[in-house]
Structure 1
């Protein structure tokens, strides 16, 4: 089994309740550090699983079993050029060159703050672009897409997302291979 690190951001539980920490431990989050920050419960997982989709799906179900409302899964899906450089283990200058079209074409368009000095990109889009050019591992691109799909599912109120994530992972792998 491989270890996967990610966070689930949740709300709806009282951190002052006597059973706050026990709820997480008793419902399958014994591999996570639970904290409360800025009105949100942050559950930082280091989860052993066969695949990333299994790790995410089991964590979402475990957190939902506590009675918490899942807000999102992180790492944050929106990234700056500096974030991209860090995640891709590249220099900020190299990523800026890709963004400006000086190294390669068709770098993804920003998803937020499009007209500002600090635009943000969807990490899944950038990871796919980098992986298609051999600049990032396919596994990292697949994980980015799975976080995106998991976030879309929890926004719809879904918590049993294992089959959907497995299917999306397989499809994304096939898409990257072509």
Structure 2
């Protein structure tokens, strides 16, 4: 008896199409997106997948490939997963209270060394990079290695998709900045 691959649920946001048509649906289905539901909200078409694969990364990458193979005039903008999180988001993701997460942040509980906020430092509505928080949580045995891996994979996939998107929108500026920074 063979072991079934786990199933992963995720959503891909598309750019370049704004109407769901039978042709769009057929092209996506024939390209292998038969495990996705296509939807439109606030002018954005998105695909919600329930895909079997060895890992979340493999599921997402194969779904992106299927969309690209469909021949539709769209690109995958990103995986609908926010890498910037509030204290409340962190608490929800690890199923702990906001008060406990606040104690981790201020060092009054836990091993200390919680990651610094990533942005909104002057506004007071602090946001943390989920991947950095997940790394701290894993190092301190609060989450499983697979949760850290998923956070890392999502961050890198979305970073690459964003870079591709910016290269299409502003190729000269993107090239200039990459050259200056690399």
Q: TM-score range by the shorter chain?
A: 0.7 to 0.9
User: Where in structure 2 are the equivalents of 1:30-109 lying within 5 Å?
Assistant: 30-65=34-69, 66-103=72-109, 104-109=111-116
User: Where in structure 2 are the equivalents of 1:17-32 lying within 5 Å?
Assistant: 17-32=21-36
Runs (4+) off by over 3 Å? none
Q: Indicate if the aligned counterparts of 2:18 and 2:45 stay in contact, CA closer than 8 A.
A: no
Partners of 1:93 and 1:102 in 2: CA distance: 11
TM-score scaled by structure 2? 0.80
Q: RCO greater where, 1 or 2, for CA within 8 Å and sep 6 or more?
A: 1
CA-CA distance at 1:57 after TM superposition: 0.8
Partners of 1:101 and 1:72 in 2: CA distance: 34
CA-CA distance at 1:10 after TM superposition: 1.2
CA-CA distance at 1:16 after TM superposition: 4.4
Aligned residues: CA RMSD? 1.6
Selected match of 1:113 from 117, 120, 135: 120
SS state of the match for residue 25, structure 1?
A: helix
2:140 equivalent in structure 1: 133
Greater Rg over alpha carbons, structure: 2
SS state of the match for residue 19, structure 1?
A: helix
- Where does the alignment leave 5 or more consecutive residues of structure 2 unmatched? 166-182
Q: Indicate if the aligned counterparts of 1:79 and 1:121 stay in contact, CA closer than 8 A.
A: yes
Q: How many residues align?
A: 158
SS state of the match for residue 164, structure 2?
A: coil
1:15 equivalent in structure 2: 19
CA-CA distance at 1:139 after TM superposition: 0.5
Of the structure 1 ranges 87-96 and 66-75, higher mean CA displacement relative to structure 2 is found in 66-75
TM-score scaled by structure 1? 0.82
Partners of 1:92 and 1:121 in 2: CA distance: 14
